[in-house]
Amino acid sequence: MKITLTAGKRRSWLLSCLLLAGSLLASAVQAQDNSFKLGIAPHTSARVILEMYQPLRQYLERSLGVPVEVETAPDFTEFGRRALNQEYDLAVTTGHQARLYQTDAGYLPLLTYQADFKAVALVAKDSKYRKPADLRGTTILALSPSSLVSLWGVHWLKSNNVGEITTRYVSAADSVARQVLAGDAALAFTSLANFQKLPAEQREALRILAESEPMAGRVYVLNKRQGAARAKIEAALWSFAASDEGKKYFEQNKLDGYRKLRPRELEAMEPYAAETRQVIRGK
């Protein structure tokens, strides 16, 4: 069969081909972009986060039938900025940031862990720091200005009138203990969960100088664009909690499972959320 085209028809035919190719390419990129982004706040090192959330990622991938990618950020501030920029489909972050995402970006709070989330102030066991006043004039470590632990620590220092403090922010949460034990800093703020996951010898060489009240530590918030799939996603999370790998996951990380958010639990975090908003905007 011989097809003869005029010059004009040839141009339009070529254009059609190019458009078709472009739309196919765009679809491919879109498909890749449509992977389900599971954002985890950088409460510990990126490697630990990736390892820790693989069981959940794989479970969600199977349950939702879409590729799920675990992502984190260099620090809490950047994580918050990305969340506010709608870059995550499902974010796991501290209560105050969850509140911020809810109010400022329309995220839908889903659930949290059963285990209490507490912030602790760690000093070397044999150090001279016995009371907050002993910390005056020292250097302390925090994860990020916008992290819940850091915000609690700032409040704790302020409430105990500890001044002339130099604060250094460390991206890797699991390295603060080593720095305190090495004498690089007098104190470090971290979560109780992180402290409990430290190696025994490190843990025994440290002393908890102060401990917060239980707080909404890690809250699952769903991006509003996934609102239609909320039930499915929420069901998948509960299903994960009931599964063997879920139970193992909770046991290994001492998280005890999921629980629903208590009424006004997030609203209680509003003060911290406000501070975080300022930090993020100031960035």
Partner 1 sequence: MKLFLPLRSVRGRLLFVAIAIEALMLTLLVTNSLRLLTDNMGAQARLHAEQMAPVLIAAIVAPLAQRDYATVQAVLDESATTDGIEYLAITDPAGRRLASSGWPEKIPLPRPDREFRLFEDESATPRYDVAIPIEIYGQKLGMLHFGLSLRQITEAHGQLFKQGILIALLEIVFSAGLMGLLGYFLTRHLSDLTRASEAVAAGNLTPPPVPEGKDEVGRLGAAFNAMSRAVAERIGDLTTARDEAKNLARAAEAGAQAKAAFLATVSHEIRTPMNGILGMTDLALATELSADQREYLTWVKLSGESLMRVLNDILDFSKIEAGQLSLEMLPLSLPDILDSMVGIYSAQANEKGLSLSWQADGELPTGIVSDPVRLRQILSNLLANALKFTERGGVDIRVRAEECDQPGKLRLHFTVTDSGIGIAVAKQKMIFAPFSQAESSTTRKYGGTGLGLAIVTQLVELMDGSISLESQPGRGSSFHFSIVCRLAEASTSRLGQTLPGLSSSSDSLTGKRILLVEDTPVNQVLGKKLLSKFGCRVSLAEDGLRALAAMATEAFDVVLMDLQMPNMGGLEATEKQRAREKELGRRRLPIIALTANAMVDDRERCLAAGMDDFIAKPFRADEMLEAIRRQL
With the C-alpha atoms ordered 5, 8, 13, 17, is the resulting torsion angle positive or negative?
positive
Q: How far is the CB of 61 from partner 1 (least distance, A)?
A: 10
Identify the bridge partners of residue 141 per DSSP, sorted by sequence position. 168, 188
Residue from 66, 69, 158, 251 binding partner 1 (CB under 8 A): 69
**Cα–Cα dist 229/227, whole Å:** 5
Among 73-81, 101-109, 216-224, 240-248, which window interacts with partner 1 (CB under 8 A)?
A: 73-81
**Cα–Cα dist 224/221, whole Å:** 9
Which H or E run includes 188? strand 187-191
Residue from 49, 173, 198, 241 binding partner 1 (CB under 8 A): 49
Identify the bridge partners of residue 187 per DSSP, sorted by sequence position. 140
Residue from 10, 11, 47, 62 binding partner 1 (CB under 8 A): 47
Q: Does residue number 70 form part of the binding site for partner 1 (CB under 8 A)?
A: yes
Rank residues 76 and 152 by Cβ distance to partner 1 and give the closer one: 76
Q: Does residue number 71 form part of the binding site for partner 1 (CB under 8 A)?
A: yes
Sheet holding 206-211, edge to edge: 166-169, 139-142, 187-191, 119-124, 206-211
Q: How far is the CB of 85 from partner 1 (least distance, A)?
A: 12
Q: How far is the CB of 236 from partner 1 (least distance, A)?
A: 18
Residue from 32, 85, 159, 161 binding partner 1 (CB under 8 A): 32
Contact 172, 49 (CB under 8 A): no
Residue from 72, 77, 146, 191 binding partner 1 (CB under 8 A): 72
Q: How far is the CB of 176 from partner 1 (least distance, A)?
A: 16
Closest CA to 227 of 106, 99, 112, 113: 106
Contact 211, 154 (CB under 8 A): no
Residue from 12, 23, 27, 58 binding partner 1 (CB under 8 A): 58
Q: Does residue number 50 form part of the binding site for partner 1 (CB under 8 A)?
A: yes
Q: Which two tokens stand for residue 260?
A: 């629903």
- How far from 20 is each of 7, 16, 117, CA to CA, in Å? 20, 6, 52
Among 40-48, 129-137, 157-165, 223-231, which window interacts with partner 1 (CB under 8 A)?
A: 40-48
Q: Does residue number 42 form part of the binding site for partner 1 (CB under 8 A)?
A: yes
Q: Is 36 helix (H, G, I), strand (E, B) or coil?
A: strand
Residue 78: CA atoms inside 13 Å, Cβ hemisphere, count? 9
Q: Does residue number 51 form part of the binding site for partner 1 (CB under 8 A)?
A: yes
Q: Does residue number 27 form part of the binding site for partner 1 (CB under 8 A)?
A: no
Contact 90, 221 (CB under 8 A): yes
Closest CA to 185 of 203, 155, 206: 206
For the segment 74-103, give every residue that binds partner 1 (CB under 8 A).
74, 78, 82
Q: How far is the CB of 132 from partner 1 (least distance, A)?
A: 33
Which positions touch partner 1 (CB under 8 A)? 28-29, 32-33, 42, 45-47, 49-51, 54, 57-58, 69-74, 78, 82
